[in-house]
C-alpha cells in the first residue's frame, strides 16, 4: 500500500495534529539545543528545524 493511500485512510485531524506537534518539537530543539556557530544544517535556522520536525511528525503519524 502506498503512503498516500494510508494518509487518505486516516483521519486528517490526526495527521495535522502530528505535524503540528512535530513542528513544535523541531522549533523547541532549535531553541534549546540549536547550533550557535551556524554550521549545522538542520539546527542553524529555525525553519529547517521546523520542517524536519513536521516531516518527522508526518512519518510517525502514518501507521
pLDDT in tens, 12-55: 788 889 999 999 999 999 999 888 787 888 888 899 999 999 99
Q: Tell me what pLDDT residue 2 has.
A: 74
User: Where do the structural domains in the chain lie, given as residue ranges?
Assistant: 9-61
Q: Tell me what pLDDT residue 14 has.
A: 86
Cα 40 to Cα 19: distance, rounded to the nearest angstrom: 23
* Sign of the torsion angle spanned by Cα atoms 36, 38, 41, 44: positive
Report the predicted TM-score, pTM, of the whole model to 2 decimal places: 0.78
Alpha-carbon torsion, ordered 3, 5, 6, 11, to 10 deg: 130
Amino acid at each position: 500500500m502506498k503512503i498516500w493511500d494510508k494518509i487518505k485512510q486516516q483521519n486528517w485531524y490526526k495527521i495535522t495534529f502530528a505535524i503540528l506537534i512535530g513542528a513544535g518539537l523541531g522549533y523547541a530543539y532549535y531553541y534549546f539545543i540549536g547550533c550557535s556557530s551556524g554550521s549545522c544544517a538542520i539546527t542553524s535556522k529555525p525553519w529547517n528545524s521546523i520542517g524536519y520536525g513536521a516531516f518527522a511528525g508526518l512519518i510517525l503519524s502514518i501507521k
